Structure 1
Amino acid sequence: MSRETIRRDELDKLFHIRDDYHGTVPLYPVYDPHYNGEEYRDWGDESDWYLWISDQEGNLQRMRGYPTRMVYFGTEAEDHTDVYYSFFDFYLRGFILQENMDQINHLLTDVRQISNSMAQIGVFDHLSRKEGLYPGQFVKNELEFIVITCRSMYESLQQVARTTWESVEYLEGGKMQLPKKFAKIALEDEKPVDLESLKLKRNLPDELAKYYAEEATHFQKIRDVRNKIVHDGESFGSVFGTSDGLAVNTDGKFIDGFSDVWSDETIRENGLAPLWPIVSKIVQTTLRALNRFTSSITEEIKFPDPIVPEHLVFVRGDATRYLPYLDYLITTDPWGTYILEDVRQRYLMNSD
């Protein structure tokens, strides 16, 4: 929504938007418990939320409520489980391009769906221990969905990168267009691209070229597993329910590229190891690719000041609460005790 579609005398209600900004106005909810604005005693904690809708005459009407599955602007996170990613912060409050919004929304949906799959794996983990249910096929379906989704996120990211790159001026030796496909820039002869070769071929800023070169190895791993599932009809491999929790075979061909997540202490004598570090590593590295991209492109290119200067962007969803614990699941809680207990209390209390 542009400022031109909102009545001028209504714009002051958007206290978080920069005064000199005249482009598209993002009407995301705002959480600001410190703002001394319009208060309603009967709203309670909801008075800290500012949600507006615009009518056909351009009037802004504040609504009572708070988002349950959305992004919002906040001076702080309303809940400690709400997630901050510099990628979404950059594009939703700093550098809004309408050409990017569909892909940004796709990526937000992917983030929520991946976390939902993590929650469902936790549910199957719980049921396998309590009910004696064999969880293998259910969990494999979720694992394959996570891998396929992570692979597609790189394509959405590449579309965002391409549009962003087209919108900036880069004068050192001329500017070449980024390819449409992530593989076209990250791989060369089906192998991770060499940094110097990439810089010479694409004439990219050093940090952006370094980003693609460093991201190429993980991308290739995700791509190879996804291709085996989608194109070759292969299965992820066996998932076992053990007394400790869900486990996989350490010599499985699908997870060979991610086996460095296990410590010697977590691998059993029979070669089984906990599943959660593999899931967490795949998700963590993919999500970090988003943040690493914005860091690389802002390192050497000057972008406009943020549209919303004093608030950050936070992401929330049904299960995004698990995403801040990815590193914890790799290093400290490889059998997923935290998720197991959380899904039990959140979704399965009536089944106990």
Structure 2
Amino acid sequence: MQTDSYDYSPIRPQDLPYIDLEALEGRPIPLHAFHDGTRWHIWVPMENGLLQPIRVIDAVEMVYLASKPVRGSDACLVFIDFIYKCVRLKSTRSFTAALTSDVFNIGASLKKLDLFRALEGIDGKSRLVTTELEYLLLLCRSMFDLLQEIISRIWDTVELSDPSAS
């Protein structure tokens, strides 16, 4: 029994409200969550090529599409936005997913540092902070390496109008 008036009928990929299939130029269809300002929309692929909407109330952590952040604490990172909107090459998919994961992990680490700051009189607090800072530095290095991989794979698709300019 449905608990709301949302239409849960399967749809065709070209009926996704946030996508222009022509603009994708053959790139994979991003099946990210979509927030229309009122509610979440998420679709999962079916074997027959249709997309089945599923009911989602809220999310803790995810990449989503929206005209503006759902919460004030949500971050819109322009370089990841660019990669998801314009690049979406098959060869960059795993690197983009890892980069996104690193961004989420940085957020978690920064939150942990806030928690550590709030701890009073805990033995070993400085070691907790030190190891978290080391982890943040490793994440930053990982992001740098992932961006280099993504840039390299994008560059491999570029055709110079004047080949002698390389």
- TM-score (ref. length: structure 2): 0.83
% identical equivalent positions = 27
Counterpart in the other structure of 1:348: none
Counterpart in the other structure of 1:306: none
Counterpart in the other structure of 2:43: 52
Counterpart in the other structure of 1:29: 33
Alignment pair present for 1:63 and 2:54: yes
Counterpart in the other structure of 1:110: 102
Q: Which of the two has higher C-alpha Rg?
A: 1
Question: Using the alignment, how far apart are the partners of 1:13 and 1:96 within structure 2?
Answer: 20
Question: Using the alignment, how far apart are the partners of 1:27 and 1:95 within structure 2?
Answer: 15
What's the Cα RMSD here? 1.7
Shift of the 12–163 alpha-carbon distance from structure 1 to 2, 3 Å rule, reads closer
Question: Using the alignment, how far apart are the partners of 1:59 and 1:13 within structure 2?
Answer: 10
Query: Which structure has more RCO (C-alpha within 8 Å, separation ≥ 6)?
Result: 1
SS at match of 1:73: strand
Higher helix share: 1
- TM-superposition CA deviations, 1:74-133 (whole Å, max 9, x none): 011111111111111111122210101111111111111112111111111111x3xx11
Question: Using the alignment, how far apart are the partners of 2:157 and 2:48 within structure 1?
Answer: 33
Aligned length: 151
* Residue segments in structure 1 that go unaligned for 5+ positions in a row: 1-8, 34-44, 176-352
* Residue segments in structure 2 that go unaligned for 5+ positions in a row: 1-10
How is 1:180-259 mapped onto 2 (pairs within 5 angstroms)? none
Note the C-alpha offset of 1:18.
0.8
- TM-superposition CA deviations, 1:265-303 (whole Å, max 9, x none): xxxxxxxxxxxxxxxxxxxxxxxxxxxxxxxxxxxxxxx
Q: For residue 26 of structure 1, what is the amino acid of its counterpart?
A: P
- TM-score (ref. length: structure 1): 0.41
Question: Using the alignment, how far apart are the partners of 1:152 and 1:107 within structure 2?
Answer: 8
Q: For residue 32 of structure 1, what is the amino acid of its counterpart?
A: D
Question: Using the alignment, how far apart are the partners of 1:12 and 1:164 within structure 2?
Answer: 26
Contact 1:50 1:63 in 2 (8 A): yes
Q: Indicate which of 126, 141, 147 corresponds to 1:151.
A: 141
How is 1:258-297 mapped onto 2 (pairs within 5 angstroms)? none
Question: Using the alignment, how far apart are the partners of 2:87 and 2:69 within structure 1?
Answer: 21
Counterpart in the other structure of 2:7: none
Alignment pair present for 1:95 and 2:87: yes
How is 1:125-144 mapped onto 2 (pairs within 5 angstroms)? 125-127=117-119, 129=120, 132-134=121-123, 135-144=125-134
Contact 2:13 2:50 in 1 (8 A): no
